[in-house]
Structure formats: structure tokens, C-alpha cells
Amino acid sequence: MRYSIDEAVEEFVPLRVQRRVLFISSLGWGTVAAGVMVMGFTIPSISKFYALSVYRASWFASITFLGMLIGAFLSGYISDFIGRTRMAFTALVFASLFNFLTAFKMDYSMLLTFRFLAGFGLGGLLPTANAMVAEFSSVKRRGKYLVLLESSWAWGSIAIGAIAVSLKNWKTDYLSFGIGLIFAALFLFIPETPRYLIQKGKISSFKEKVKKWKGSLPKDVDFKIEFSSREPFSRLLTRKYLSTTLMLWFLWFSLSFSYYGFFIWLPKMVGQMAKTTLTTSLLFLFVMMVAQLPGYYTGAYLVEKIGRKKTLFYSLIGTAVFAILFAYGKSDAILLTFGTIMTFFCMSAWGSLYAYTPELYPTAFRGSANGSSGAMARIAGIIAPLYTSLLIERNSSQFAIMTFGALLIISSIWMMLVGKETQNSKIN
């Protein structure tokens, strides 16, 4: 009997294996989230420790995102050659090790070097883990699993936030990343993805895995597969995929620009807007991190209930509307209310986007598609902290937030006009 790749995953990859891949990938994903969001909790203390201006301190974040840009772009390309699991292990080792080393005193240039290397690992893991979960999941579970993977961003943010708020020592925050090395080792226990093995023609390797999982394999099993070398990155820009690729790149850029521009400097911005003790504390940022969870899980439900496109559209519009309302908040209660609702919609948008992106491209260059989309996010991450810091210095936090809302509205309309619905579609 001949099986397509999706049929092979459905028939031969046990649910326990799919769940194990999701769990280990989620640990890595949460570590990445902590590695990014720790900057929002620690930049004020690091600025004081190294005697940095707001603008110079913004480079602490921007150089991290530059590393994430390089990591996201190269990891997608490399993982299409050497496999997802090897790339995931390497990326998480980089992310954990150099975040850990950030805790030690050094000159500012060395600090920025370590942040770049940490960023390389942080950026490299995200598209790789996303491809792993997508390629290990059956069609009926893929959307939900990808959003659940993305939801671990909230758990990682909450974890690092709890450490920051309770211990109030920025060096301890970075030392806690030592546990990420343990999580990295777990990736060594994940086999290469079925789609990757079959696409590369390594049928015997896949059959060996199936025998290990199921105990036996029918002798007449064969797979419907076109044996081809990795398709070039330029395929993303061919006539068939160009409109989709440009739409996705802008969408990833807009959502990332808004997210990082907002959360990296959140305590500073809201402190400037409301001038209260609550809004200038780390506790305010921590509350916002906790508010991410219901957004993710709502997105996980809706992508399978109403589809990827509608969920993403409503989430983007909701984020934009409440970001604009947040910009005009003047009291703690209003800022917390609108900020919490905005975060809810924003996390639903992130989860939907991670579920949507890999389903738009075939296996042969899905890694490159994920990687290039992630690269757009990192470009936004480089620019956003600098952009926001300049406006903060000019007492123009509201204008920065209005910019975020405008970008999200434009990207949501573009997505609805160009994007196609991928719910229950088969990926080849």
C-alpha cells in the first residue's frame, strides 16, 4: 500500500510520539521566550549597572535581535540540509549558554557580543521547532499543536517574570538559563521528522523508527514521494508564492515590531504616560505576561473552529484597537484593563500566525519559508527597541503605540485579501 506523507504520519506515528515532540519543543520554545522577555525585566538594572543612556541601552536588545535575525535565516536553510533535530539542539545550546554568561561582569562590547550569540540561538530555534512540530503532527492535530507550541511563549515569559519579580536581581535572572542546557539535551531524544526523512529519500530510516514505535510494519508499505533535492530559497519569490511570501513577511514584521517595541520598553513607556509607582514597576510587566495565556489557548481553539485566516484577522484587529486605546490611558486601572485585553488578542495572533505560516509551503522549502518569516520578525526586533527609545526620549510614547496599531491594521487587511485558508489542508 502506498501512503502520502500525511497519511504516513497519521498511520505510523503514535500519538505519544507526537505529544513528546510537542512537549520537548515547548520547553525549548519557552526558554526562547524567557531569553527575549528577560530583557524587558532587566534592561533598567543593566542600564544602571553599566551607566547607559536609554538609546545605548536599546542596543542591548537590538543586538540580540540582530543575532536572532541571522539565526532565524540560517537555521531554516541549514535545517533543510542537516535535519530539524540537530539544528534545534545546537540553537538551544547557544541560546542558553550565552544568556547564562550575560550574568557575569564584562566590558560593554563583550556584553553585546554575548547578546548577539545568544540571539543567534534564540532566533535559530523558533523556525526549527515550528517545522518539527508541523512535520510530526497529523493533519487533524497540526493547527492545535502549533498554537500550543506557541503558547509556551507565555509560560516562558511568566517563568522569567516570576524569577525577576521575586528575586529582584538581574544577574540571577540570567543565571537561571543554565536549565536550558538540560532542555537542549532532550532534543537528542527526538528522532528526525517523518516528512524530512521521506522527502530526503531515507525511507529505511523512517521504517526503522516505525518498527521501534509500533513493533512491526507491513511488508507492502510504500510512500508517494517525489525525490528531489532541496528547492532554492528563490522559490519563495516565484510567481506562485510571491504574493503569499510578501504578505507573510509584512505580517511577521508588523506583529513583531509592535510586540517588541511595546514590551521591551513597557515599564518606561507606561511610567511616562501615567507617572505612577505601579506602572513603573516590574510587577506591571509581569501581569501582562500572565495575560498572554488565555489569548494563546483561545487561538488554539479558534484556528480549528473558524479557520486560520479569520482567527488571525480578528486577533490582529483586536490587538490594534486596544493598543490605540491603551495609548490614551491615564490611570493604572485603564492601562491594566486595555493592556491585558490587547495582550490577549496579540497572543492569539501570534499563535494563529505560527499555525498558518508552515501550512502555506511544501516540505522542500518549508524550513526556508519559516526561517525567512522569522528573519522579518528579527529585523523588526532590531528596529523596534531603537525606534521606541528615541520616541521615549522625546516624550512621545503615544505616537509609538499608534504606529504599532496602524501596522497591524494594514497587515490584517492585506492578509485577508491575499492569504488562503489552510484549515484541514494537507502539506506535502
pLDDT value, residue 35: 96
* Grid coordinates given for 378: 528579527
Q: 0.85 exceeded by the pTM?
A: no
Backbone phi and psi for residue 231, each to the nearest 5 degrees, phi listed first: -80, 145
> Which tens digits make up the pLDDT trace of 16-27?
989 999 999 999
Complete DSSP assignment for 358-376: GGGS-GGGHHHHHHHHHHH
Report the candidate in 362, 366, 356 with the shortest Cα–Cα distance to residue 128. Answer: 366
Give tens-digit pLDDT for 67-111.
Answer: 998 998 788 778 878 888 999 999 999 999 999 999 999 999 999
Residue 395, pLDDT score: 85
Query: Residue 227 pLDDT more than 50?
Result: no
Distances (CA, A) of 56 to 52, 59, 62, 184, 378: 6, 5, 10, 32, 19
Q: Kindly tell me if the per-residue pLDDT of 125 is higher than 60.
A: yes
CB environment 66-104: b (16+ within 10 A), e (fewer): bbbbbbbbbbbbbbbeebbbbbbbbbbbbbbbbbbbbbe
- DSSP single-letter state for residue 192: P
Express each pLDDT in 302-337 by its tens digit.
988 899 999 999 999 999 999 999 988 878 788 888
* Residues 57/43, Cβ–Cβ less than 8 Å: yes
Q: What is the pLDDT of residue 197?
A: 81
Helix (H) or strand (E) holding 147, with range, is helix 139-167
Q: Which three cell numbers stand for residue 385?
A: 527597541
399 vs 390: CA distance, rounded Å: 11
* Sign of the C-alpha dihedral computed for residues 220, 221, 223 and 227 taken in this order: negative
Contacts for 21 with CB less than 8 Å, ≥ 6 apart: 132, 133, 136, 137, 190
Q: For the chain, how big is the Rg over CA atoms in Å?
A: 21
Residues facing 3 on adjacent strands: 223
For cell 545550546, what's the residue?
Answer: 93
Q: Name which residue leads in pLDDT, 287 or 318.
A: 318
When pLDDT is cut at 50, 70 and 90, the band that residue 284 belongs to is confident
Least confident of 222-226, 234-238, 400-404: 222-226
Domains of the chain: 2-215+239-418 (1.20.1250.20)
Contacts of residue 333, defined as CB under 8 A and 6 or more positions apart, other chains included, come to none
Residues counted in the chain: 428
pLDDT above 60 (res 120): yes
- Angstrom CA distances, 126 to 67, 313, 367, 371, 387, stand at 13, 23, 11, 8, 24
pLDDT level of residue 156 (50, 70, 90 thresholds): very high
Q: Residue 351 in contact with residue 217, Cβ under 8 Å? A: no
Q: What is the pLDDT of residue 232?
A: 65
Burial call 391-417: b when 16+ CB within 10 Å, e when fewer:
bbeeeebbebbbbbbebbbebbebbee
